[in-house]
């Protein structure tokens, strides 16, 4: 762990040293010792309570020492990085021991002292290198003992684009790539054995209660749950439970649909002033404000920007996105996504594509202007992309990208796609944070177990958004939604003001908001200090911003009567918001911020990189007797195939041949890229779908999109005719207007096909169709109506011609 003292303990076989923590690969990978022998984990039970958009979670892991010797053990588990962990306790043989939150150094010292004196002790802390991995030590568990370890946390739930709330209980903790010579003391470095799912020795149960004044319409999950049961006639609360027999082999996801649209709200929570005379964040009432800004959809007068796509090509990207049948390989979904993004970029912008693993490659030495030629060159290279670059080394390519000179008038927009299997997430987040003034970062976590600390952290510090692609979710649609945000005109001069009674003021705890996106929710935390007014008094909070020279504001009036909450949910969420801004990891948090982080963490009882929960069982009449044994619990094979069991290099993960650890960059000319590309380029100036038939398969949508030109038009050729199910001769003979530009006819045919055959995926192609409309408006506006009617007849489509009105 972070601090290691090497006490010698006699095991069953020899004297040994307690060394650094290791890792199971999933939450129920369980209670591990500093050896590799199994320890029976009997069951895991989770109680989830969701009120509006806040989740409260209590998770209990039940173990039993059925051996004749005492154990020193620990377990490692994933946690969403937005979780505010505020309670940890152990129940041993019917006695509860509540842990205290202390400075991490002091907590380690207490734990080491307890073990030296053969006392039972318990330690819970964040991993040194990532906010989404936790480690728990259990020392001196005597023979025959049963222990139940319970931790509690609260968390804001993210809002999906369609208004759905998403709760995820992290389960999968994949091996993470470790740069040689770094992160060696991370708890993720132990290489535990793997077993088939049917051999896992523990059970898992979960019960969830959801309540909302908006009413509950339905609840969906990627795991089998019992039918939703309403708890009242008004349908404002409901309950579901995980069906019996579930193995914790994937992240458990719940999608919650409320009956009414989300509306702005303000909640005021009572502080601890009466019980806690000491000054601190918990003393005064806290406020949580939730805005849903109605930012209008407007056209940007000038589309510009430098768009850089950083794509994970590590060996683990060859895995399926999920365990579900026919789930697309991560690398194939990534390639399709890149095609859509490249086709959707605006004319006149600049772009580049990087692939990274242990080494990294760039499509171009520097970002290039978006033209027909550069787009085609990039598209051909996308087709040749493989998950063949070794481990997940993202830091160096980021430094290279940030080191490139800026393009005047074209702000950098960075899109990062990765399965997030990185050990030292704080180093990556801090690198992005240091460069936050020169770019925005949009991040995408691919597959089960992507690091929430990495994906959310880099987007948060650089004013972007984050998305996770699991189960049946499509990377393509989420990436295009992010591109739409990146192309939105900037919202400026964002401010929050308060109108409160005399003698009362609001102190903001949330960081200053510098970015707002259309459709985004905004949550703000503050403390109310001063004299609280009578119960019927109200206050007002106002969000103001500017968009293209126009001023907008959202006002919410709220009651100033604070409500009690035994868990102090709002205070702890506010503390978490503050800590995410100031806490940059155990090593890298600036000295000037460490003091504030430590104070807020301990005052509010919310764990941070600088603190740890510690408990010692002082009620035992005599010290634990006998030599300590060490045990291990194997992890499940999450990918369902023994062939995908990872190999480790330098503590990292790879599923391909051992890489050369010397980081290298490849910026190939078209001729250097491969003879295959060169032949394709010399034979025709258009991409031939037959050159790489395995890339697109039978996916006619991707085939059609790949044929679009950079300016938004299509050429009439054999490939387009084949997608339409007609011959090229028939296609050309059907041009309805004499001497009409054949590209205008082909472009309208492609647009009709999109609306007829891919309507359900409109979010993935509406940007490139918008380019097509713009091209038609310039080149064929006068005959558009005739072209559309003829195209509908030619393709035998039932599309309403009105949707093509320019």
Q: What is the pLDDT of residues 120-174, one digit of tens each?
A: 899 999 988 899 989 888 888 888 888 899 999 999 999 988 889 999 998 777 6
Q: Is the pLDDT of residue 7 over 90?
A: no
Which DSSP state fits 212?
A: -
For the ranges 52-66, 179-193, 270-284, 705-719, the one whose mean pLDDT is highest = 705-719
pLDDT (0 to 100) of residue 73: 78
Q: How far apart are CA 193 and CA 37, in angstroms?
A: 10
- Spatial neighbors of 45 by CB under 8 A, at least 6 apart, are 59, 60, 62, 204, 205, 206
**pLDDT (average), residues 294-299:** 86
Q: How far apart are CA 457 and CA 454, in angstroms?
A: 5
**pLDDT (average), residues 475-497:** 93
Q: How far apart are CA 624 and CA 804, in angstroms?
A: 79
**pLDDT (average), residues 375-399:** 93
Q: What is the pLDDT of residues 219-264, one digit of tens each?
A: 999 899 999 999 999 999 999 999 987 766 778 999 999 998 888 9
More confident residue, 186 or 207: 207
Q: What is the pLDDT of residues 158-173, one digit of tens each?
A: 998 888 999 999 877 7
**pLDDT (average), residues 14-39:** 38
Phi-psi region of 409 (alpha: psi -120 to 50; beta: other; left: phi over 0): left
| pLDDT class of 722 with cuts at 50, 70, 90 | very high
- Is residue 386 within 8 A of residue 314, CB to CB? The reply is no
| pLDDT class of 19 with cuts at 50, 70, 90 | very low
Rounded to 5 degrees, φ, ψ at 134 are -120, 150
pLDDT (0 to 100) of residue 644: 39
Per the DSSP assignment, residues forming a β-bridge with 310 are: 354, 416
Percent of the chain with pLDDT over 70: 82
pLDDT (0 to 100) of residue 523: 96
């Amino acid at each position: 762990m972070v601090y290691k003292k090497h006490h010698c303990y006699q095991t069953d076989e020899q004297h040994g040293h307690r060394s650094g923590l290791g890792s199971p690969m999933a939450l129920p990978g369980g209670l591990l010792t500093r050896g590799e022998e199994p320890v029976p984990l009997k069951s895991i039970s989770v109680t989830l309570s969701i009120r509006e958009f806040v989740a409260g979670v209590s998770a209990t892991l039940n173990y039993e020492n059925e051996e004749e010797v005492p154990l020193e053990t620990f377990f490692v588990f994933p946690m969403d990085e937005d979780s505010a962990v505020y309670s940890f306790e152990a129940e041993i043989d019917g006695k509860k021991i509540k842990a205290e939150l202390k400075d991490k150094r002091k907590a380690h010292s207490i734990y080491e002292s307890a073990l030296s004196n053969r006392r039972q002790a318990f330690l819970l802390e964040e991993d040194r290198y990532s906010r989404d991995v936790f480690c728990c030590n259990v020392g001196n568990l005597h023979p025959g003992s049963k222990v139940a370890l319970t931790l509690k946390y609260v968390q804001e739930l993210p809002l999906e684009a369609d208004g759905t709330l998403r709760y995820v209980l992290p389960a999968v903790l994949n091996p993470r790539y470790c740069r040689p010579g770094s992160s060696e003391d991370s708890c993720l470095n132990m290489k535990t054995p793997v077993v088939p799912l049917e051999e896992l020795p523990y059970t898992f149960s979960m019960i969830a209660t959801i309540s909302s004044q908006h009413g509950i319409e339905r609840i969906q999950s990627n795991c089998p749950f019992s039918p939703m049961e309403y708890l009242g006639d008004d349908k404002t609360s409901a309950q579901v439970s995980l069906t019996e027999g579930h193995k914790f082999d994937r992240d458990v996801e719940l999608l919650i649909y409320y009956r009414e649209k989300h509306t702005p709200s303000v909640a005021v929570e009572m502080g601890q002033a009466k019980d806690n005379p000491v000054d601190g964040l918990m003393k005064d009432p806290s406020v949580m404000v939730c805005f849903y800004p109605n930012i209008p959809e407007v056209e940007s007068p000038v589309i510009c920007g430098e768009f850089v796509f950083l794509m994970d090509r590590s060996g683990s990207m060859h895995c399926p996105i999920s365990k579900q049948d026919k789930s697309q390989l991560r690398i194939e979904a990534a390639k399709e996504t890149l095609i859509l993004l490249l086709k959707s970029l605006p004319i006149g912008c600049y772009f580049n594509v990087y692939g990274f693993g242990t080494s990294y490659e760039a499509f171009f030495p520097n970002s290039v202007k978006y033209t027909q030629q550069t787009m085609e060159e990039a598209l051909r290279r996308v087709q040749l992309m493989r998950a063949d670059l070794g481990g997940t080394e993202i830091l160096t390519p980021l430094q290279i990208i940030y080191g490139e000179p800026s393009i005047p008038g074209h702000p950098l927009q960075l899109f990062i796609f990765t399965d997030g299997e990185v050990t030292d997430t704080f180093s990556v987040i801090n690198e992005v944070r240091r460069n936050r003034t020169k770019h925005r970062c949009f991040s995408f976590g691919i597959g089960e177990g992507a690091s929430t600390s990495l994906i959310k952290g880099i987007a948060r510090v650089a004013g972007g958004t984050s998305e996770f692609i699991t189960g049946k979710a499509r990377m393509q649609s989420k990436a295009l939604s992010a591109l739409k945000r990146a192309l939105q005109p900037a919202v400026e001069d964002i401010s929050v003001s308060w109108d409160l009674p005399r003698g009362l003021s609001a102190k903001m705890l949330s960081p200053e908001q510098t970015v707002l996106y259309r459709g985004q929710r905004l949550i703000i935390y503050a403390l109310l200090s001063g004299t609280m007014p009578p119960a019927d008094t109200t206050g007002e909070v106002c969000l103001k911003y500017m968009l293209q020279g126009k001023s907008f504001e959202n006002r919410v009036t709220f009651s100033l009567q604070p409500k009690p909450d035994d868990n102090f949910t709002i205070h702890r969420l506010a503390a978490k918001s503050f800590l995410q801004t100031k806490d940059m990891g155990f090593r890298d948090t600036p000295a000037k911020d460490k003091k504030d982080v430590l104070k807020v963490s301990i005052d509010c009882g919310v764990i941070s990189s600088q603190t740890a929960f510690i408990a010692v069982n002082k009620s035992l009449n005599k010290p634990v007797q006998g030599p300590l044994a060490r045990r291990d619990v194997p992890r499940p094979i999450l990918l369902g195939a023994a062939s995908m069991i990872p190999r480790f290099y330098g503590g990292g993960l790879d599923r391909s041949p051992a890489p050369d650890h010397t980081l290298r960059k490849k910026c190939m000319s078209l001729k250097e890229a491969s003879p295959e590309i060169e032949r394709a380029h010399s034979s025709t100036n258009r991409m031939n779908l037959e050159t790489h038939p395995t890339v697109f398969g039978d996916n006619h949508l991707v085939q059609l999109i790949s044929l679009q030109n950079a300016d938004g038009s299509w050429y009439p050729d054999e490939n387009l005719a084949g997608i339409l199910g007609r011959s090229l001769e028939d296609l050309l003979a059907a041009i309805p207007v004499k001497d009409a530009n054949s590209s205008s006819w082909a472009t309208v045919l492609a647009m009709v096909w999109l609306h007829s055959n891919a309507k359900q995926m409109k979010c993935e192609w509406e940007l490139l169709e918008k380019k097509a409309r713009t091209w038609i408006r310039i080149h064929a506006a006068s005959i558009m109506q005739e072209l559309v009617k003829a195209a509908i007849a030619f393709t035998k489509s039932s599309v309403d011609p009105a949707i093509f009105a320019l």
